[in-house]
């Protein structure tokens, strides 16, 4: 519609220039795009039980239905959890699980890392030194991504978070506080995308 032309143009230009709610994140983001309203949609997968090398070591995990993030009509990524039998989301950080984001457009890795830090600040406090250390680690691990590529984070209880890109291990952040806040971007009750959280956790035990 004509009245929305300038808004759509600005959104498209912003995405193209910045490569970007989670880049790993446009993550969850009404706040990232001002007055824009992010829309999430459950996506039916024809083959939800396919294997992923990044989750092979978790033993018996199964994927949830993917949930698609759209911002201003632009499709950003499909998110899903890989969880073991008996997984309780209220005790998520005490269990090994994986969070997978499969991207639907080009996004810049540096922007993904920066936005992750911004979202993590909404969920808890940490020092500037921690922020710089975490940001540096994520910038090293998170590449620029294109449509069809994926970044997967694996929670390592009592240790931190391990990351994989397209089935290849890229590194680990050995800090349980980082892991709690990072996965909290999607799983914490204070997430900026409560609808996406509800859809990701649908069918899992509380």
Q: Which residue, chain included where needed, has tokens 């018996």?
A: 60
Q: Report the pLDDT value the prediction gives residue 16, as an integer from 0 to 100.
A: 38
High-pLDDT (> 70) share of the chain, %: 76
- Asked whether 74 and 105 are in contact (CB, 8 A), the reply is yes
Q: What is the DSSP letter of 143?
A: -
Domains and CATH numbers, the chain: 2-201 (3.50.70.10)
CB atoms within 10 A of CB 9: 10
| Prediction pTM value | 0.79
pLDDT digits (tens, 9 = 90+) for 149-201: 999 999 999 999 999 999 999 999 999 999 999 999 999 999 999 999 999 99
pLDDT at 27 over 50: no
Q: H or E segment at 136?
A: helix 128-141
Cα 103 from Cα 92, distance rounded (Å): 24
pLDDT digits (tens, 9 = 90+) for 112-133: 999 999 999 999 999 999 999 9
Cα 102 from Cα 148, distance rounded (Å): 6
pLDDT at 204 over 90: yes
Q: Report the pLDDT value the prediction gives residue 42, as an integer from 0 to 100.
A: 53
CB atoms within 10 A of CB 117: 18
């Amino acid at each position: 519609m004509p009245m929305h032309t300038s808004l759509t143009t600005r959104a498209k230009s912003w995405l193209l220039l910045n490569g970007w709610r989670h880049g790993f994140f446009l993550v969850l983001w009404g706040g990232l795009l001002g007055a824009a309203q992010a829309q999430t949609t459950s996506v039916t997968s024809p083959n939800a039980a396919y294997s992923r090398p990044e989750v092979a070591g978790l033993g018996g995990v199964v994927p949830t239905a993917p949930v698609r993030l759209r911002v201003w009509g632009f499709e950003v990524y499909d998110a899903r959890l890989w969880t073991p039998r008996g997984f309780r989301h209220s005790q998520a950080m005490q269990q090994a699980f994986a969070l997978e984001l499969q991207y639907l457009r080009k996004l810049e890795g540096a922007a993904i890392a920066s936005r992750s830090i911004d979202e993590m600040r909404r969920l808890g406090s940490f020092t500037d030194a921690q922020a710089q250390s975490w940001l540096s680690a994520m910038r090293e691990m998170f590449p620029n991504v294109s449509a069809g590529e994926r970044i997967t984070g694996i929670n390592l209880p009592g240790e931190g978070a391990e990351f994989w890109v397209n089935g290849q291990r890229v590194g680990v952040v050995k800090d349980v506080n980082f892991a709690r806040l990072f996965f909290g971007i999607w799983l914490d009750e204070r997430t900026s995308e409560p609808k996406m959280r509800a859809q990701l956790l649908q069918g899992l035990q509380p």
